[in-house]
């Protein structure tokens, strides 16, 4: 088979070729094993089984006791010293540690909290479109998609205005590092930049947390560093790790969906017409279809904790599996004609926000809220806005990110 999902070169291939490769893998009777190569600065393992069918990804997601997120969910796996430098992210934890952190931070995503963010999101979207009108068309990612999520997250956390440009730069560095690096020198350079960026973000919010602990305000940092009704709060390291996770994961989901979304609406004018005819009735379905079609985060790894049979495959304790969300979202058994973009499609069950279970994306509703508000503002004030040409994709096995997308109106 000429498919090697462990080869980072595979992820430089055009998206159409990669989708065709996954379609071939879904036709097989059982998951395929891919041996790993040594990757500089990352831990080399014996390899992993690729879960590419929707049913397999859902089964592994629901059964967190067998399919563990520890020691790490990224693929390849980072070396062990990383968690000692940056602290542990909740995405790399199982219960009860994961449940404790999720319980504390989930207050940020309650319906009441999200409703309270709407006015700020409205103002941010209006301001972004004001700037687009003043600047003229250029790059949709830089001018629109990359700006809103970070603005919203900084508002939630209470990050002062003077620090936000610095936050944006650090997030861009971290996003670039998820891409495929062509050489060892570039890998080393980008790894160093990424570590410095993540450390800077953590130091920034930890210092802010110390201020809020003595003089709390009405922001999320204040809530996270002061005792809640259950008597629980985040430590400094946990606060720093959560902020980094929120910026990287929370930013990329909405950013990637919006950047791909303008291209999808341009390339599918009949779908755009349907959305414009009744925005309020159809935007919900449009967002779910965008997330399904795009799969903003393409994969996560799990470690098997005990012997387990999965679709004719006998897994042993210690085996690694990788959940390929992008492939599961194109599974023909669940989504007929999956390569067609259709905002009227029944998308219930897509795994664009992760599979069902304890690690389902905590910020999914916030991402939906941001995407809905931004497209409402864009299509109302710039009804002929459209992408121009092909996007420049970030070559990555993790982040379905667009570097640049020219647009006009």
Window from 125-129, 244-248, 389-393 with minimum mean pLDDT: 244-248
Q: In the predicted model, what is the mean pLDDT of the chain?
A: 88
Q: What is the pLDDT of residue 364?
A: 94
Q: What is the pLDDT of residue 365?
A: 95
- Report the C-alpha gap between 199 and 173 in whole angstroms: 12
- Report the C-alpha gap between 102 and 230 in whole angstroms: 13
Q: Tell me whether residue 340 is in a domain.
A: yes
Q: What is the mean pLDDT of residues 376-405?
A: 94
Beta strands in 154-206 (DSSP E): none
Number of alpha carbons in the 13 Å side-chain half-sphere of residue 262: 34
Beta partners for residue 304, in sequence order: 67
Q: What is the pLDDT of residue 101?
A: 87
Q: Tell me whether residue 2 is in a domain.
A: no
Identify whether the C-beta of residue 91 lies closer than 8 Å to the C-beta of residue 342: no
Q: What is the mean pLDDT of residues 296-311?
A: 95
Residue 103 pLDDT > 90? no
Q: What is the mean pLDDT of residues 280-287?
A: 97
Q: What is the mean pLDDT of residues 348-371?
A: 94
Residue 280 pLDDT > 80? yes
Q: What is the mean pLDDT of residues 191-205?
A: 78
Which of the two residues, 80 and 303, has the higher pLDDT score? 303
Q: What is the mean pLDDT of residues 161-172?
A: 81
Q: What is the mean pLDDT of residues 147-165?
A: 89
Which of the two residues, 344 and 231, has the higher pLDDT score? 344
Token pair of 260, please?
A: 């791909």
The SS3 assignment for 403 reads strand
220-254 residue pLDDT tens: 888 888 866 567 778 888 888 888 888 877 788 99
Identify whether the C-beta of residue 168 lies closer than 8 Å to the C-beta of residue 204: no
Identify whether the C-beta of residue 222 lies closer than 8 Å to the C-beta of residue 188: no
Q: What is the mean pLDDT of residues 18-47?
A: 84
Task: Tell me the pLDDT band of 372, cut-offs 50, 70 and 90.
Answer: very high
Task: Tell me the pLDDT band of 188, cut-offs 50, 70 and 90.
Answer: low
Window from 12-21, 63-72, 88-97, 182-191 with minimum mean pLDDT: 182-191
Token pair of 376, please?
A: 């409402």
Q: Tell me whether residue 286 is in a domain.
A: yes
How far is the CA of 75 from the CAs of 89, 248, 275, 281, in angstroms? 15, 16, 37, 39
Q: Tell me whether residue 347 is in a domain.
A: yes
Which of the two residues, 203 and 121, has the higher pLDDT score? 121
User: How many domains does the chain divide into?
Assistant: 1
Residue 180 pLDDT > 80? no
Q: What is the pLDDT of residue 1?
A: 63
Identify whether the C-beta of residue 373 lies closer than 8 Å to the C-beta of residue 121: yes
At CA 59, angle to CA 56 and CA 61, rounded to 5? 105
Domain span at residue 34 reads 8-408
126: domain CATH number is: 1.10.630.10
Tell how far CA 146 is from the center of its chain. 13
Q: Tell me whether residue 253 is in a domain.
A: yes
Q: For the range 79-84, what are the long-range contacts, defined as Cβ-Cβ under 8 Å and sequence gap of 24 or more?
A: 79/41, 79/42, 79/43, 80/43
Residue 199 pLDDT > 70? yes
Residue with tokens 């009227």: 344
Q: What is the pLDDT of residue 226?
A: 81
Tell how far CA 373 is from the center of its chain. 19
Q: Tell me whether residue 3 is in a domain.
A: no
Residue 87 pLDDT > 70? no
Q: Tell me whether residue 1 is in a domain.
A: no
Query: Which spans in 226-352 are helix H?
Result: 236-245, 251-267, 269-277, 279-294, 325-328
How many percent of the chain have pLDDT more than 70? 89
Window from 146-155, 301-310, 314-323 with minimum mean pLDDT: 146-155
């Amino acid at each position: 088979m000429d498919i090697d999902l462990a080869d980072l070169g595979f992820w430089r291939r055009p998206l159409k070729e990669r989708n065709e490769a996954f379609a071939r893998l879904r036709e097989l009777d059982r998951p395929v094993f891919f041996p790993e190569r040594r990757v500089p600065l990352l831990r080399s393992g014996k390899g992993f089984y690729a879960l590419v069918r929707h049913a397999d990804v859902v089964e592994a997601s629901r059964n967190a006791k067998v399919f563990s997120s520890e020691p790490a969910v990224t693929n390849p796996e980072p070396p062990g010293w990383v968690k000692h430098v940056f602290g542990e992210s909740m995405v790399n934890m199982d219960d009860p540690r994961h449940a404790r952190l999720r319980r504390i931070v989930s207050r940020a995503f309650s319906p009441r909290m999200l409703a309270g963010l709407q006015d700020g999101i409205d103002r941010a979207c209006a301001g972004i479109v004001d700037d687009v009108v003043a600047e003229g068309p250029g790059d949709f990612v830089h001018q629109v998609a990359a700006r809103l999520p970070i603005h919203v997250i900084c508002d939630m956390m209470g990050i002062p205005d003077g620090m936000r440009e610095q936050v944006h730069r650090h997030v861009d560095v971290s996003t670039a590092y998820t891409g495929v690096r062509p050489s060892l020198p570039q890998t080393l350079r980008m790894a160093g930049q990424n570590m410095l960026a993540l450390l800077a973000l953590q130091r920034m919010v930890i210092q802010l947390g110390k201020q809020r602990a003595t003089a709390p305000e009405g922001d999320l940092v204040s809530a996270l560093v002061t005792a809640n009704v259950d008597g629980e709060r985040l430590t400094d390291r946990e606060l720093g790790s959560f902020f980094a996770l929120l910026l990287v994961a929370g930013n990329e989901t909405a950013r990637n969906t919006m950047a791909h979304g303008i291209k999808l609406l341009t390339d599918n004018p009949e779908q755009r017409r349907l959305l414009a005819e009744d925005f309020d009735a159809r935007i919900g379905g449009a967002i779910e279809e965008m997330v399904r079609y795009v799969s903003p985060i393409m994969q996560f790894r799990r470690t098997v904790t005990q012997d387990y049979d999965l679709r004719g495959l006998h897994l042993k304790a210690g085996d690694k599996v990788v959940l390929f969300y992008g492939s599961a979202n194109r599974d023909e058994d669940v989504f007929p004609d999956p390569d067609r973009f259709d905002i009227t499609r029944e998308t219930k069950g897509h795994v664009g926000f992760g599979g069902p279970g304890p690690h389902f994306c905590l910020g999914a509703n916030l991402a939906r809220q941001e995407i809905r508000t931004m497209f409402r503002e864009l299509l109302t004030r710039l009804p002929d806005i459209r992408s121009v040409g092909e996007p420049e994709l970030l070559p990555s096995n993790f982040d379905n990110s667009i570097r640049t997308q020219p647009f006009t109106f």
